[in-house]
């Protein structure tokens, strides 16, 4: 005998279980940190590469995972042209400047555009997180693509992420995307470590400070969303130049003031 109404028990039988995502930690690392912004061209990859190098300089074992499938930057910024080896099961990361690196750009011709559908991107991300022989790392720094799409979702829902750092310029148009990015991570319950104001200002030869993209916008956004403001990095043409040469500034010019700023971020 049952006192349940038939329509209720039928509904219970067909009850849709909320989808529980199994979060796999990346094997071979202690912490996974994403560098994100939702906006393109604000300096995510520059920050990710220099942060990775700065963490190495303070004694950590670091991996760098280029999750930008459509626009990989790590091969160029790290000056890597070789292809990763595979034993048929796992890919070996390429080691440069003592950092274990993986990028879709190692596997494809640099100038060939990736014309892939979402599920293929998701499967590439799964390969990079589960089928790369990352070895004894303290941190994997993940260089995220712009947007709030498949890559961000895959990382947030299926991979154990320890936190995200959001990089932005102080410009309104960038901050609009940043706000979307913050809301996405909050919704997906990924801890936001803090916000970085990149290309905050430029100091001219006259010693004057020029706020090219506006002033204080990133800090204001951090306060608005009750997130930590981690600090600012000014515009220095040397930053871009060294990345273009395949050796980011923290590696090539460690005594430069900007390199010291990155090292302070790493310590934080
Ligand atoms: N602090 C900085 N000073 C000068 N140029 C910078 C700085 N940060 C980034 N850049 C330049 O800005 C451009 C975009 O940076 P990138 O890291 O590729 O952005 P994203 O990964 O967000 O698309 C590159 O040309 C890079 O060299
Ligand atoms: Mg990038």
Q: Is the CB of 66 under 6 A from ligand 1?
A: no
Which numbered atom of ligand 1 lies nearest the CA of 48? 17
pTM of the model: 0.90
pLDDT digits (tens, 9 = 90+) for 197-206: 999 999 999 9
Q: How far is the CA of 116 from the centre of ligand 1 (A)?
A: 25
Q: Are 196 and 231 in contact (CB under 8 A)?
A: yes
pLDDT in tens, 48-65: 999 999 999 999 999 999
Q: List 137's β-bridge partners, or say none.
A: 29
Q: Which residue has tokens 């204080």?
A: 216
Residue 141 burial (CB < 10 Å; 0-12/13-18/19+)? buried
Cβ(41) – ligand 1 distance below 6 Å? yes
DSSP code, position 86:
B
Strands 192-198 and 94-96 turn out to be: unpaired
CA distance linking residue 122 with residue 112, whole number of Å: 19
Provide the pLDDT for residue 20.
Answer: 59
- The answer for residues whose C-beta is within 8 angstroms of residue 71's C-beta and 6 or more apart is 40, 145
pLDDT, residue 2, reads 47
Do 94 and 80 form a contact (C-beta atoms < 8 A)?
yes
DSSP-derived pairing of the beta strands 163-168 and 209-210: unpaired
43 lines ligand 1 (CB under 6 A): yes
pLDDT score of 230 = 96
Ligand 1 atom 23: residue of nearest CA: 41
The most confident of 58-62, 86-90, 212-216, by mean pLDDT: 58-62
User: Separation of 152 CA from ligand 2 center, angstroms?
Assistant: 14
Query: What sign does the CA torsion over 156, 71, 138, 95 have?
Result: positive
- What tens digit of pLDDT does each residue of 5-37 get? 555 555 455 555 555 567 788 999 999 999 999
Q: State the distance from the centre of ligand 2 to the C-alpha of 260, rounded, in angstroms.
A: 22
Q: What gap in Å lies between CA 65 and CA 81, rounded to an integer?
A: 16
What is the residue whose two structure tokens read 């279980």? Answer: 17
45 in contact with ligand 1, CB cutoff 6 A: yes
The residue behind tokens 């910024």 is 77
% of residues, the chain, pLDDT over 70: 91
Counts of helices then strands in the chain (DSSP H, E):
10, 10
Please tell me the predicted confidence (pLDDT) of residue 79: 96
CA distance 204 to 167: 23
**If you measure from the C-alpha of residue 12 to the centroid of ligand 1, how many angstroms do you get, rounded to a whole number?**
53
- The distance in angstroms from the start CA to the end CA of the chain is 63
* 49-53, 97-101, 110-114, 248-252, range with the lowest pLDDT: 110-114
Write b or e for each residue in 156-179: b if 16 or more Cβ atoms lie within 10 A of its Cβ, otherwise e.
bbbbebbebbbbbbbbeebbebbe
| pLDDT tens per residue across span 162-192 | 999 999 999 988 899 999 999 999 999 999 9
């Amino acid at each position: 005998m049952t006192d349940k109404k038939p329509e209720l028990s039928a509904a219970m039988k067909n009850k849709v279980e909320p989808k529980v995502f199994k979060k796999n930690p990346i094997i071979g690392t202690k912490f996974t940190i994403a560098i994100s912004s939702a906006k393109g061209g604000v300096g995510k990859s520059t920050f990710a590469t220099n942060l990775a190098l700065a963490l190495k300089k303070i004694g950590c074992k670091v991996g760098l995972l280029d999750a930008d499938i459509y626009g990989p930057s790590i091969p160029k910024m790290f000056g890597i042209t070789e292809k990763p080896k595979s034993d048929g099961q796992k890919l070996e990361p390429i080691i440069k400047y003592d950092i274990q690196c993986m990028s879709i750009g190692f596997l494809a011709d640099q100038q060939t555009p990736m014309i892939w559908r979402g599920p293929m991107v998701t499967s590439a991300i799964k390969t990079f997180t589960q089928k790369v022989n990352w070895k004894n790392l303290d941190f994997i720094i993940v260089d995220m693509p712009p947007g709030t799409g498949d890559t961000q979702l895959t990382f947030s829902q299926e991979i154990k992420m320890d936190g995200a750092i959001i990089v932005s310029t102080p410009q309104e148009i960038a901050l609009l995307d940043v706000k979307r990015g913050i809301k996405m991570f909050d919704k997906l319950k990924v801890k936001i470590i803090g916000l970085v104001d990149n290309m905050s200002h430029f100091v001219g030869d006259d010693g004057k400070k020029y706020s090219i993209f506006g002033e204080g916008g990133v800090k204001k956004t951090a306060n608005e969303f009750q997130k930590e403001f981690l600090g600012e990095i000014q515009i220095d043409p040397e930053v871009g130049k060294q990345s273009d040469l395949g050796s980011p500034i923290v590696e090539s010019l460690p005594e430069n003031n900007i390199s010291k700023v990155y090292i302070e971020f790493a310590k934080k």
